[in-house]
Structure 1
Amino acid sequence: MKKKAEWPRKLRSQEWFGGTGKNAIMHRSWMKNQGLPADTFDGRPIIGICNTWSELTPCNAHLRDLAERVKRGVYEAGGFPVEFPVFSTGESTLRPTAMMFRNLAAMDVEESIRGNPVDGVVLLGGCDKTTPSLLMGAASVDIPAIVVSGGPMLNGKWRGKDVGSGTAIWQFSEMVKSGEMSLEEFMDAEQGMARSAGSCMTMGTASTMASMAEALGMTLSGNAAIPAVDARRRVISQLTGRRIVEMVKEDLKPSDILTKEAFENAIRVNGAVGGSTNAVLHLLALAGRVGVDLSLDDWDRLGRDVPTIVNLQPSGKYLMEEFYYAGGLPVVIKAVAEMGLLHNDAITVSGDTIWNDVKGVVNYNEDVILPREKALTKSGGIAVLRGNLAPRGAVLKPSAASPHLMQHKGRAVVFESIEDYHARINREDLDIDETCIMVLKYCGPKGYPGMAEVGNMGLPPKVLKKGITDMIRISDARMSGTAYGTVILHTAPEAAEGGPLALVENGDLIEVDIPNRTLHLHVSDEELARRRAAWVSPVKPLTGGYGGLYIKTVMQADAGADLDFLVGARGSVVERDSH
């Protein structure tokens, strides 16, 4: 356990506000135009509240209220809270894709923390990319930091049934194409899918990343699953405000918490909850920020022995409300520990070990959080496939895949872009059946650009009308954590980088062997060499602004798709005062 720092000690904020010099007086006097008493800057911890609130990010539109609750806690513990906004990546609205701007948001977070007089920071997130961007930026600065999630929405409701945000859209859309649901019914279901504040209430990327933040030790225990509109979401926000003040006094920083053991815990918890494949990218990028050696191989190695025990959509039956009422993530962490798969001594923001945080919790519903012997999938986690089609790896979520497709050889039906897919997928003359493998190109980090959530391509109506609900799909794209199916993603190198995916042609045989972790294109090396010599990228790269910087510096999916110059923590030092 980390040795607590001596208190009182000189705080970082005193570099701005301490003393009687001209610069200190200027800094204090300008802040006092907000009506602050003279003793506000007497050496008490100044706590930043880094808020991704935005009305264009519906999942985070309620975070102003939580910020007020955090402030109460900070005041109660003797600190002074200051709220500030950062770029908010709204998954549901931002184009071309929120993933393109995760790194920009992380840069905003990092420089906002580093350049301002705060001693600790509370990170308010919720929507998919806001949580990793907050963690990445804060980790790069490495002052005391703690996460509060906005929480999931209440269960969707339609005609007496629970419907999961995201997951229901994929299901109902396919049902419309197959003729099982009318367009009018689909439109009628719309209003019931998102009926309260909060993020997706399936185990999509938002709930997955809230779970990852908790499993990493960067939130108070129990944070991940509390519904956004439950009063206990406000309570944990206020308690977090109290706790960050103590963390500053203890000098408990992200580098003390985000160890290799913490990442291994998070990967195993991800397998147990049936978490989103997007977590792979975000944890790889976060590990790069703190200098932890984490790879795709770690994801495969650590997830193989973890059963998926959380019975939530899209892998299972229930939604986040039931998960919270059953005991939430602490119950899962305890279960992983009892399987002998947890580093029990990993430190969390509580200042105690992760085991001590969860050892007393109780599972209140064993149909939601299943016993190991009744697991949805005996080997959960993330499967990492390699072969001549994915030399640097591709990923698949076994808990969302179809068992009969785990070993399959099929004819490739190739879509050269997402536009090509949309133009052809509904055509009756499309040469495709359920034995084929759908291949989508040029949707990776550089190709889309931004690596959009288009990998879970909807099936063609001619196949859906036969009652077929799943086919193998392969791409360099991502998919929503709310999606499902035998979908192979993040193929690296991507097509836009000249990866083998770019060379696949209609009619090529592809063999997928998930138990043996292989992905093989049955085309000779000589033929691939001939195709490569003739290949010309159809992607027109962005040149100006952030887009140009992104294209020049973004890394591939197997490295987390961070910008190469952001790897490695840079600390909190501010070199000079401008006044």
Structure 2
Amino acid sequence: MSRTRLTAEQLRSHRWFGVDNLRSFGHKSRAKQMGFDAQDYAGKPVIGIVNTWSDINPCHTHFRQRAEDVKRGVWQAGGFPLELPAMSLSEPFQKPTTMLYRNLLAMETEELLRSYPIDGCVLMGGCDKTTPGLIMGATSVDVPSIFLPAGPMLKGRWKGTTLGSGSDTWKYWAQKRAGIIGDKEWGEIEDGIARSPGHCMTMGTASTMTAAAEALGLTLSGGSSIPAAFSNHPQLAVATGRRVVDMVWDDLRPREVLTREAFENAIAVVMAMGGSTNSVIHLVAMAGRAEVELPLELFDDASRKVPVLANIRPSGEYLMEDFFDAGGLRGLMAELGELLHREALTVNGQSLGENIEGAEIHDPDVIRRRDNPLSEQGGLAVLRGSLAPDGCVIKTTAASPHLLQHKGRALVFDSYDDMDARIDAEDLDVDENTVLVLRGAGPLGGPGMPEWGMLPIPKRLLEKGVTDMVRISDARMSGTSYGTCVLHVAPESFAGGPLALVRDGDLIELDVPGRRLDVHVSDDELERRRAQWQPPEPVFTRGYGKLFGKHITQADKGCDFDFLSGAGGAPEPAIH
């Protein structure tokens, strides 16, 4: 595609470095203070490398070196790289949840790119909420941007068994609680489950969202599948640095790439990958920054027509390293064929169709053919009903088929602490048909909508061999989790949604084929309970948490801040 190239005088950074006034003197003299001179930056695109490296983020431990690799590519292409550290959202360590801080990273990214002399940027992320947070911020400020994924970690190992992050944690923890394995085995699993840099190598939120970023057209083709420890990964970083310089000259901006068709491609890829339920919230929020509306029904429609082709845990058998060797995302997207908008523009200046032309599948068990899918339909379903008037989601490929249509009496936990204190009690009034309900875990109630949706099976049922039950909450669930878990119930209980009114013993009906979630209580009784309900006190009284509580939207709206969704409109800073 032929594009009109910018001149040096049209660069955004020209207002900082290219004029002759007092402020420009200050900018250039301070650049010299850092060891740079005019030959480094004069007339060149300034590339911000937004790096989410941190000592407490194991998924990004290699980002110190990758930032240097990106810089090498930028220098090669005639740009001027500047590394900009940004908040690192470390899924394993940050409490109560990284989701509480996704919007803070988005705000920081937007303000970094807006307030500094940045012509284009490389977004370095991968760990769960980092990917959407970076992309949301870059979309709002709308400077030429390209996403560099962290890449999945290598496969875990234990006594000749392949371990997958997250999924096997839950599996073996249940076995430990049931007395099947002991402390020795548990310690050995701890030693072997995470053996390299990189994000989760299962189809968790990290792998889902980096694949979605590539399907959106924001990553160099094939980049999201490369394991972090492979030599292909630093090569990708260098190529990303080179490419972003040309994107600046071409003035190729995120909102030109992030069209409705691009988001439909991302949704199709999420379905074909058996992706995380978290992707629904993140894609809705990301689309909102590009002024693209994604109703929940769009996800459900895609799920009905897009088969699951990626045989990756927890829905399948393999891990991301196997997926890369089998042909990676290019191979999977080529197999999707007409289910994708192949004409969609991507950051390398080519269409998605051009990028995947000639891609092959090398192992048809890891990446299935459409005539032999892992599942005929995508892995997610959107439900509505009297218990979720604004919608909720379930990952059907991780659920037990016999529970997808189920009626049972409710056992209600008012908070995570309530659940944690009572779940293993010998006198808990529960059997395998009971529907476990957790409330107080949504965007406001959690706060931040933690990944508490995979409620544990009560210990005495585990000991009887029960491995799954219907579980309902206004929380999220890790993409590496499994089980018949209904999530993102909206409106949440903290905001007075119907979940706040459910009581022990109420009959709840789950009907996934019918896309329904209902509580069988009369309208009159629900109104009586509503009249008695008292809104809880806000969780935060100061700081970012108070801002969050005042402005966060519900799950069906992407949990973005109400003042950030839509066109960025961020003004160019005055340089005085």
TM-score under structure 2 length normalisation: 0.98
Could you say which residue in structure 2 is the equivalent of 1:247?
A: 247
Could you say which residue in structure 2 is the equivalent of 1:25?
A: 25
Alpha-carbon deviations, 1:436-467, whole Å to 9, x = none? 11100010000010100000011011111222
Aligned 8 A contact 1:90 1:98 in 2: yes
Aligned 8 A contact 1:442 1:539 in 2: no
Alpha-carbon deviations, 1:515-541, whole Å to 9, x = none? 110001000000000000001134543
Offset, 1:281:
0.8
Could you say which residue in structure 2 is the equivalent of 1:227?
A: 227
Moved more, 184-193 or 501-510: 184-193
Alpha-carbon deviations, 1:259-313, whole Å to 9, x = none? 0000000001000000101111111101111100111111111221111110111
For this pair of structures, how many residues does the alignment match? 576
Could you say which residue in structure 2 is the equivalent of 1:570?
A: 568
Q: Distance in 1 between matches of 2:442 and 2:304?
A: 26
Could you say which residue in structure 2 is the equivalent of 1:216?
A: 216
Aligned 8 A contact 1:382 1:397 in 2: yes
- Map 1:48-87 onto structure 2 (within 5 A): 48-87=48-87
Offset, 1:7:
4.8
Q: Distance in 1 between matches of 2:569 and 2:155?
A: 41
Moved more, 178-187 or 11-20: 178-187
Matched residue type, 2:131: T
Could you say which residue in structure 2 is the equivalent of 1:356?
A: 354
Q: Distance in 1 between matches of 2:259 and 2:69?
A: 30
- 2:127 counterpart of 1:132: no
Alpha-carbon deviations, 1:27-80, whole Å to 9, x = none? 111011121132223211111100000111111121111111111110111111
Alpha-carbon deviations, 1:403-456, whole Å to 9, x = none? 111111111111111001001111111111111111000100000101000000
What are structure 2's unaligned runs of at least 5 residues? Answer: none
Q: 1:394 aligns with which of 384, 392, 395?
A: 392
Give the secondary structure class of the aligned counterpart of 1:331. helix
Could you say which residue in structure 2 is the equivalent of 1:543?
A: 541
Q: Distance in 1 between matches of 2:201 and 2:514?
A: 33
Q: Distance in 1 between matches of 2:372 and 2:462?
A: 31
Matched residue type, 1:531: R
- Map 1:285-304 onto structure 2 (within 5 A): 285-304=285-304
Could you say which residue in structure 2 is the equivalent of 1:168?
A: 168
Offset, 1:543:
1.6
Aligned 8 A contact 1:18 1:41 in 2: no
Alpha-carbon deviations, 1:373-428, whole Å to 9, x = none? 32121111421100010000000111111111111111111111100100111111
Offset, 1:571:
4.4
Give the secondary structure class of the aligned counterpart of 1:335. helix
Q: Distance in 1 between matches of 2:571 and 2:77?
A: 26
Could you say which residue in structure 2 is the equivalent of 1:510?
A: 508
- Map 1:140-179 onto structure 2 (within 5 A): 140-179=140-179
Q: Distance in 1 between matches of 2:281 and 2:88?
A: 19
Q: Distance in 2 between matches of 1:486 and 1:377?
A: 16
Aligned 8 A contact 1:220 1:350 in 2: yes
Aligned 8 A contact 1:52 1:85 in 2: yes
Aligned Cα RMSD in Å? 1.2
Q: Distance in 1 between matches of 2:548 and 2:529?
A: 28
- Map 1:89-488 onto structure 2 (within 5 A): 89-337=89-337, 340-488=338-486
Matched residue type, 1:522: H
Give the secondary structure class of the aligned counterpart of 2:389. strand
- Closer, same or farther: CA 404–468 of 1 in aligned 2, 3 Å: same
Q: Distance in 2 between matches of 1:331 and 1:233?
A: 18
Q: Distance in 1 between matches of 2:220 and 2:9?
A: 25
Give the secondary structure class of the aligned counterpart of 1:111. helix
Give the secondary structure class of the aligned counterpart of 1:374. coil
- Closer, same or farther: CA 345–471 of 1 in aligned 2, 3 Å: same
Aligned 8 A contact 1:2 1:256 in 2: no
Matched residue type, 2:58: P
Q: Distance in 1 between matches of 2:7 and 2:223?
A: 28
Matched residue type, 2:254: P
Aligned 8 A contact 2:302 2:378 in 1: no
Aligned 8 A contact 1:217 1:347 in 2: yes
Q: Distance in 2 between matches of 1:4 and 1:176?
A: 63
Offset, 1:9:
5.2
- Closer, same or farther: CA 574–240 of 1 in aligned 2, 3 Å: same
Offset, 1:570:
2.0
Q: Distance in 2 between matches of 1:572 and 1:545?
A: 23
Aligned 8 A contact 1:73 1:238 in 2: yes
Offset, 1:572:
5.6
Q: Distance in 1 between matches of 2:455 and 2:4?
A: 51
Matched residue type, 2:45: P
Matched residue type, 1:568: G
Q: Distance in 2 between matches of 1:459 and 1:2?
A: 58
